[in-house]
């Protein structure tokens, strides 16, 4: 199962609903404090319900929405590549399509609403029957379903399984479903047990933040073994084996407690009859707690979260390299999303390249997605244009754009870096300059612009002073660094020239 798109409303800087599309590898770029980390943290809240890295509070409600009386944070995710068969009540095997739990695009759409940043109310938004004769079946008990079948003379070959009875009723009314977009509340009644089971099919979401606290109690996900535990325990085979172990322990405990109470009853029936064994159900056990002390430590026993940022990130780098190899070798089926803030942090350029290569390789593995935020122009240049999401502010609020607006009529990662990070580079200057020349518009660009002296080296070593516009001056210096007769252009001059070139290109595109 993979996330196709994600919607945020009233969360921090995101007021109006913003839809974000995801690929196998998605990189968020934008200026500081623009809302990149907020997307990753909203995902953590959605998937981990406050039990992950991020603890939601009332300060997360968008201030403008709060002033208008709208206090609901709404986070919605749509999933594709869904499991063919699922079990959502008892042991009855069915599918999301058979249960009519998919939206018009054939995706599983789950919406979580957090009133006053409190506990989530969960809804599945599905293209579902609205006909009163056959809607709301998921909320009905087996007794209710049997009554509908009996009252309407519906043929059903198995009245012991809810999934089979629901299918029979829907099939009986197939010609009059009156399908419409429906919000199915899965946090109350019979649907709560369905939601409890459905959650197990959702991807495991692991957030790696760049600026965690450095304390002993910190569940620092930079220690990759903690994440490995979560992933390993999510594997279906292990879940089945652990459930079998838990049920066996539960059975033996019941035997011991029963024998104890029987013996006690021989001596004191009154006391025995007032006692009951309390044994946690197998489903309530938290196996991850058994391994919560798992860690990578140095020879002196120093834990990862006490090491320097560079070492922590170096360990993280090689965790992802190892994970790519493992998941390829295992043909991993358990869905997982790795979200990494600023993977370039505390690493020199060569390690940044290796990490991005590892993450790209990891994103190509079955059932795996990778999400990053970055401030690095070098990282952006290692990615495809389709991987990038530019977050910016507009008059209507925040925008997260897959197809980036730009001055050039073709994808330019140099332009992405300019828009996202205000990076001025000689490469981008060359692109803009070259495009204007190729369009035969250079004379039009120069017209009316002030000039400055440039000493040109002629054949034979003699020199000549020409008058050129600023963009020519910079272009000559980029292409002829051997000419040291002219003062080198400044960063401000490069910025000014790029802006002039961009403004002109916009008039001819």
pLDDT above 90 for 467:
yes
Average confidence (pLDDT) over 265-286:
75
Q: What is the pLDDT of residues 32-52, one digit of tens each?
A: 888 999 999 999 999 988 888
Has residue 490 been placed in a domain?
yes
Residue 9 lies in a domain: no
pLDDT higher than threshold 60 for residue 276 = yes
Helix (H, G, I), strand (E, B) or coil at 365: coil
> CB neighbours (10 Å) of residue 20?
22
H/E stretch holding 243 = helix 236-267
Q: Give yes or no for a contact between 476 and 483, defined as CB atoms under 8 angstroms apart.
A: yes
The answer to whether residue 160 is domain-embedded is no
Q: Are 47 and 200 in contact (CB under 8 A)?
A: no
CA distance 104 to 102: 7
Proportion of the chain above pLDDT 70, given as a percent:
85
Confidence of residue 218 (pLDDT cuts 50, 70, 90): very low
Widest pairwise Cα distance in the chain: 118
**Which residues have C-beta within 8 Å of that of residue 443, sequence separation ≥ 6?**
none
What is the mean pLDDT of the segment spanning 282-303?
65
Residues 128-146 have pLDDT tens digits of 999 998 998 988 888 999 9
How far apart are the C-alpha atoms of 43 and 28, rounded to whole Å?
14
Q: What is the pLDDT of residue 213?
A: 45
Question: Is residue 79 in some structural domain?
Answer: no
Distance from C-alpha of 454 to C-alpha of 226, rounded to nearest angstrom: 61
Residue 197 pLDDT: 81
Specify the pLDDT at position 51. Answer: 81
Look at strands 368-373 and 92-94 and give their pairing.
unpaired
pLDDT in the model for residue 216: 38
Over residues 325-333, mean pLDDT:
68
- Percentages helix, strand, coil for the chain (3-state, rounded to 5) are 45, 20, 35
Mean pLDDT for the stretch of residues 223-238: 69
pLDDT at 160: 87
Whether 290 shows a pLDDT value over 80: the answer reads no
User: Total structural domains in the chain?
Assistant: 1
Q: What torsion do the CA atoms of 199, 205, 211, 217 make, to the nearest 10 degrees?
A: 50
Q: Is the pLDDT of residue 234 over 90?
A: no
Domain extent for 483: 424-508
Q: State yes or no: pLDDT of 473 exceeds 80.
A: yes
Give percent of the chain with pLDDT exceeding 90: 42
Going by pLDDT thresholds of 50, 70 and 90, the confidence category of residue 222 is very low
Q: How far apart are the first and last CA of the chain?
A: 41
Of 283 and 255, more confident: 255
Q: What is the pLDDT of residue 452?
A: 96
Show the tokens assigned to 344: 């370039």
Residues 394-422 pLDDT 10s: 777 888 887 555 666 666 778 888 887 88
Query: 75-79, 106-110, 169-173, 198-202: which range is least confident on average?
Result: 198-202
Angle at 313 between CA 308 and CA 314, to 5 degrees: 100
pLDDT at 455: 95
Give the number of residues written for the chain.
509
Within a domain: residue 225?
no
**Average pLDDT of span 366-392:** 86
User: What pLDDT sits at residue 61?
Assistant: 94
Q: Where are the beta strands (DSSP E) in 374-450?
A: 388-394, 397-401
| pLDDT at position 282 over 70 | no
- Which of 223-227, 303-307, 383-387, 430-434 bottoms out in mean pLDDT, i.e. has the lowest? 303-307
Position 484 pLDDT exceeds 90:
yes
Name which of 28-37, 60-69, 168-177, 243-252 the model is least confident about: 243-252
How far apart, in whole angstroms, are the C-alpha atoms of residue 336 and residue 319? 15
Q: Are 107 and 148 in contact (CB under 8 A)?
A: no
Angstrom distance (rounded) from CA 439 to CA 432: 11
Environment class of 186 (CB within 10 Å of its CB; exposed 0-12, middle 13-18, buried 19+): buried
H or E segment and range at residue 165: helix 162-172
Between CA 236 and CA 241, with CA 237 as vertex, the angle to 5 degrees is 115
Q: Which helix (H) or strand (E) holds 43?
A: helix 36-48
Write 374-378 long-range contacts (CB < 8 A, 24+). 374/27, 374/28, 374/29, 374/342, 374/343, 374/344, 375/29, 375/32, 375/342, 375/344, 375/421, 376/342, 376/344, 376/352, 377/417, 377/421, 377/423, 377/425, 378/344, 378/349, 378/352, 378/353
Cα 487 from Cα 93, distance rounded (Å) = 76
Task: Specify the higher pLDDT residue, 334 or 457.
Answer: 457
Q: Is residue 347 over pLDDT 80?
A: no
> Tokens for 133?
């004769």
* pTM confidence score: 0.73
In a domain, 187, yes or no: no
DSSP strand pairing (121-129 vs 108-115):
antiparallel
Q: What is the mean pLDDT of residues 425-452?
A: 94
| In the predicted structure, residue 309 carries a pLDDT above the cut 80 | no
Residue 219 has pLDDT above 50, yes or no: no
Min mean pLDDT across 265-279, 282-296, 422-436 is at 282-296
Looking at residue 416, its pLDDT comes to 82
* Dist. CA 482–CA 46, nearest whole Å: 57
pLDDT at 221: 40
Mean pLDDT score across all residues of the chain: 84
Higher pLDDT, 222 or 335: 335
Residue 322 has pLDDT above 80, yes or no: no
**Alpha carbons 410 and 378: distance in angstroms, whole number:** 20
At residue 303, does pLDDT exceed 80? no
pLDDT at 496 over 50: yes
């Amino acid at each position: 199962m993979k996330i196709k798109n994600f919607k945020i409303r009233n969360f921090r800087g995101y007021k109006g609903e913003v839809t974000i599309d995801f690929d196998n590898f998605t990189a968020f770029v934008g200026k500081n404090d623009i809302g990149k980390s907020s997307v990753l943290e909203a995902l953590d809240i959605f998937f981990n319900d406050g039990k992950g890295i991020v603890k939601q509070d009332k300060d997360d409600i968008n201030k403008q929405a709060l002033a208008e009386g709208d206090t609901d944070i709404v986070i919605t995710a749509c999933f594709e590549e869904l499991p063919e068969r699922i079990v959502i009540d008892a042991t009855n095997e069915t599918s999301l399509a058979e249960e009519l739990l998919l939206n018009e695009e054939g995706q599983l759409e789950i919406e979580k609403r957090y009133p006053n940043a409190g506990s989530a109310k969960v809804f599945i938004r599905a293209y579902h029957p609205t006909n009163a004769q056959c809607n709301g079946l998921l909320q009905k008990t087996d007794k209710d379903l049997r009554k509908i079948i009996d009252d309407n003379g519906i043929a059903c070959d198995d009245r012991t399984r809810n999934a089979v009875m629901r299918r029979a009723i829907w099939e009986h009314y197939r010609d009059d479903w009156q399908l419409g977009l429906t919000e199915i509340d899965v946090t109350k009644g019979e649907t709560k047990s369905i939601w409890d089971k459905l959650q197990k099919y959702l991807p495991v979401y692991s957030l790696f933040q760049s600026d965690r606290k450095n304390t002993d109690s910190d569940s620092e996900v930079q220690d990759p073994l903690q994440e490995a535990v979560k992933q390993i325990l999510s594997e279906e085979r292990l879940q089945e084996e652990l459930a079998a172990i838990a049920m066996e322990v539960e059975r033996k405990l019941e035997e011991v407690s029963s024998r104890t109470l029987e013996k006690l009853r021989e001596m004191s029936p009154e006391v025995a009859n007032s006692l009951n064994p309390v044994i946690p159900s197998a489903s309530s056990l938290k196996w991850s707690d058994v391994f919560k002390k798992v860690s990578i430590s140095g020879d002196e026993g120093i834990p990862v979260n006490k090491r320097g940022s560079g070492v922590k990130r170096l360990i993280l780098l090689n965790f992802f390299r190892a994970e790519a190899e493992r998941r390829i070798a295992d043909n991993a089926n358990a869905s997982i999303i790795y979200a990494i803030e600023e993977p370039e942090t505390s690493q020199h350029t060569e390690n940044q390249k290796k990490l991005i290569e590892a993450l790209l390789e990891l994103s190509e593995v079955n059932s795996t997605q990778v999400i990053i935020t970055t401030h690095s122009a070098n990282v952006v240049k290692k990615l495809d244009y389709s991987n990038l999401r530019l977050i910016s502010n507009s008059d209507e609020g925040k925008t997260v754009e897959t197809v980036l607006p730009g001055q050039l009529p073709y994808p330019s990662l140099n332009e992405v870096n300019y828009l996202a990070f205000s990076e001025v580079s000689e490469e981008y200057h060359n692109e803009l300059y070259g495009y204007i020349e190729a369009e035969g518009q250079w004379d039009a660009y120069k017209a009316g612009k002030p000039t400055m002296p440039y000493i040109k080296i002629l054949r034979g070593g003699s020199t000549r002073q020409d008058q050129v516009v600023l963009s020519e001056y910079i272009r000559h210096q980029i292409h002829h660094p051997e000419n040291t007769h002219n003062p080198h252009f400044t960063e401000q001059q490069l910025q000014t020239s790029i802006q002039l070139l961009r403004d002109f290109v916009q008039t001819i595109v």
